[in-house]
Amino acid sequence: MDEFLFRSSQKLDSLQIQLGLAASHSKDVFHQFSEHSKLLVSQVWNNSKTLELKEAFKEIWFYLIDVAEHVRYKIQFYSDPRRIYLGALGLFGRNWTKREIYIGLAGFVVGSIIGVVIGLSYHRQESVTRYMQAVQCRYYSGSESILVSEDAKAPHECAEHEVLIDVKACSVQVLDNYISHGYGRTLRRIMRKYYENSSELPVTLGRDCTGIVTDIGKNVRRIEIGDEVWLTVPFWAQGTMSQTIIVPEIRVSKKPRNVGFEGACSVPYAGCAALSALEKCNITFENAQEKRVLIHGSCTPVGCILIQILKYWGADVSSTCNKRALPVALALGAEDIIIMEEEYITRNSNSDNHHLLEELKKRHNFDAIILTWDVSPSNEELQKFCKCIISTTPEKLPSDSYGFFRRYIFQFCIWLRWHLESFSGISLNEYDEVHMCHSTLDQLTELVKNGHLQTVVDKVYLPQDIDIALSHLESTRSIGSTIITFR
């Protein structure tokens, strides 16, 4: 035990000696480093280049002091009240001739005019932001995302070929509900980069409207301020369900004066879709007398217009509708009506399809079947009863499900088309808008004006009731158009 303690004490003494040596060595190293640093700083400070730099800085400093003294002296000299008084007395105390007075006044007037002109040329008018009420979709989650905005930015300046319209009424379409679920979001996101009347979110709903023109672009020729007009816009453009809108002149036409704003609003979008469907079926005024057409869903806005146009053209018109819409379908001109159960509109069950197919077997084949309901038998089942099947309901857009790579290619195609349009001056854009133009609206105007086309309005709501309006439009009790009024 004593030996262990002895050896331990020896190791502790050795460790203390080593620590002392290390501390002494570190002290010497630090002292040596500090001495070298002082020497280096001294050499740099006393270097010839450093001395030249110090001399240059002194010269600049003394020069700035001299300039400041000179400026102070000049200010004191020219601001001396006595000197100013003597100068003014020498200038105005002399005898002026008439010629000198006239020259002075002329110079004053000319200088003032030039100053005003220069000021006006550089004057920048502050942009005035106006707000309005609009029904908008803020995000793509269905009817829950639709709200009435009280602070939407109101347009107020027209481009060369645009028209500013004070909206009176607009119709609610099934397409508005599709848009609230994201219909056309990819195309809308891309086209907003190239077309001013397209934007992503928020999206203003409404595909048509009636109103009064309040301003026009300098190159607008067909429309004048104060005209009562109606119009329709494609799904990718900003909608019409707002107090004020700006649209290209090509989409606007004068409204027939024999119907009011709310009644006329049931025609533009549905009428353009109806005429487009008839064109796809190759049915015209000249050959309609030889055609047999089935309108599947005669109580929809498009169906009501299709029945009337085909009846006027002399076609043999058959239709399907629920029992409540039977008197309306008969009044519009349908000759053969298949009564569908009201539940069929909301649930496309096999038994309902079987009922329709059995009824079609009892009739001669049709030249065309036009579908205006979302629910219907498959085209394969209907193909054996007709030569042509056309649907007026919104078709699913492949672009809405594109991934990054396909979306990039799609954007490049739109960019290329936009540049071709800009270079050639010819519109190549055919995204569901060919039939949405003033020529189609003019054709509808003549039909309404001559009494061949009657407006069918079911309900009229205020913007705050947009959720009720959409629910009613999609219910089994809806007949004709549902309208939102801004009056």
User: Which CATH number do you get for residue 290?
Assistant: 3.40.50.720
Q: Which of 32-46, 175-189, 216-230, 272-286 has the lowest mean pLDDT?
A: 32-46
Write down the mean pLDDT value for the chain.
81
CB 457 within 8 A of CB 266: yes
Q: Is the pLDDT of residue 6 over 70?
A: no
- Number of Cβ within 10 Å of residue 330's Cβ equals 15
Q: For 47, which DSSP code? A: S
Residues 383 and 297 in one domain: yes
Residue 353 structural domain? 282-387
Q: Is the pLDDT of residue 458 over 70?
A: yes
- Number of Cβ within 10 Å of residue 407's Cβ equals 15
Q: Which of 28-32, 372-376, 442-446 has the lowest mean pLDDT?
A: 28-32
Task: Report the candidate in 268, 275, 276 with the shortest Cα–Cα distance to residue 240.
Answer: 268
Residues 137 and 261 in one domain: yes
Q: Is the pLDDT of residue 347 over 50?
A: no
Using 50, 70 and 90 to split pLDDT, how confident is the model at 8?
low
Residues 202 and 326 in one domain: no
Residues 288 and 259 in one domain: no
Would you state the pLDDT for residue 86? Answer: 65
Q: Which of 220-229, 412-421, 468-477 has the lowest mean pLDDT?
A: 412-421
* Partners of residue 211 on adjacent β-strands: 167, 229
Q: Is the pLDDT of residue 126 over 50?
A: no
Residues 376 and 474 in one domain: no
Reduced to 3 states, what is the DSSP secondary structure of residue 259? coil
Residue 156 within any structural domain of the chain? yes
Residue 228 within any structural domain of the chain? yes
Would you state the pLDDT for residue 243? Answer: 93
Q: What is the mean pLDDT of residues 192-199?
A: 71
What are 291-337's pLDDT values in tens digits?
Answer: 999 998 888 999 999 999 999 999 999 998 888 888 888 899 888 88
Residues 368 and 291 in one domain: yes
- Number of Cβ within 10 Å of residue 191's Cβ equals 23
Q: What is the mean pLDDT of residues 466-472?
A: 91
Of 477 and 231, more confident: 231
Could you give the percent of the chain with pLDDT greater than 90? 29
CB 306 within 8 A of CB 295: yes
Residues 256 and 205 in one domain: yes
Highest mean pLDDT among 110-124, 129-143, 157-171: 157-171
Would you state the pLDDT for residue 429? Answer: 54
CB 308 within 8 A of CB 267: no
- Number of Cβ within 10 Å of residue 401's Cβ equals 10
Place of tokens 């290209």: 248
Residue 277 within any structural domain of the chain? no
β-bridge pairing 316-322 and 292-296? parallel
Query: Which residue, 330, 361, 387, sits at the end of a domain?
Result: 387
Highest mean pLDDT among 12-26, 83-97, 372-386: 372-386
Q: What is the C-alpha to C-alpha distance for residues 206 and 179, in angstroms, rounded to an integer?
A: 10
Residue 450 within any structural domain of the chain? no
Residues 260 and 140 in one domain: yes
What are 359-372's pLDDT values in tens digits?
Answer: 888 888 888 989 98
Query: Which residue, 387, 415, 447, sits at the end of a domain?
Result: 387
Reduced to 3 states, what is the DSSP secondary structure of residue 287? coil
Residue 371 within any structural domain of the chain? yes
What are 33-58's pLDDT values in tens digits?
Answer: 667 667 766 766 677 777 777 777 88
Containing H/E element for 292? strand 292-296
Using 50, 70 and 90 to split pLDDT, how confident is the model at 163?
very high
Using 50, 70 and 90 to split pLDDT, how confident is the model at 444?
very high
Residues 144 and 254 in one domain: yes
Task: Report the candidate in 280, 194, 282 with the shortest Cα–Cα distance to residue 237.
Answer: 194
Sequence-ordered list of residues with C-beta below 8 angstroms from that of 326, at least 6 positions apart, any chain: 337, 339
Cα 226 vs. chain centroid, distance in angstroms?
Answer: 26
Alpha helix stretches (DSSP H) within 135-267: 174-180, 185-191, 261-264
- Number of Cβ within 10 Å of residue 382's Cβ equals 20
β-bridge pairing 208-216 and 162-172? antiparallel
Residues 214 and 289 in one domain: no
Q: Is the pLDDT of residue 351 over 80?
A: no
Residue 140 within any structural domain of the chain? yes
Place of tokens 């049931």: 266
Residue 364 within any structural domain of the chain? yes
What are 234-256's pLDDT values in tens digits?
Answer: 888 889 999 999 999 989 999 99
Residue 38 within any structural domain of the chain? no
- The HSE-up count of residue 48 (CA atoms within 13 Å, CB side) is 0
Residues 196 and 238 in one domain: yes
Residues 251 and 170 in one domain: yes
Containing H/E element for 120? helix 98-121
Task: Report the candidate in 233, 238, 235 with the shortest Cα–Cα distance to residue 397.
Answer: 235
pTM here is: 0.70
Query: Which residue, 354, 387, 420, sits at the end of a domain?
Result: 387
Reduced to 3 states, what is the DSSP secondary structure of residue 474? coil
Please give the tally of structural domains in the chain: 2
CATH number at residue 139: 3.90.180.10
Amino acid identity for residue 271 in this structure: G
Q: What is the mean pLDDT of residues 449-454?
A: 92
Highest mean pLDDT among 119-128, 261-270, 426-435: 261-270
Q: What is the C-alpha to C-alpha distance for residues 246 and 158, in angstroms, rounded to an integer?
A: 7
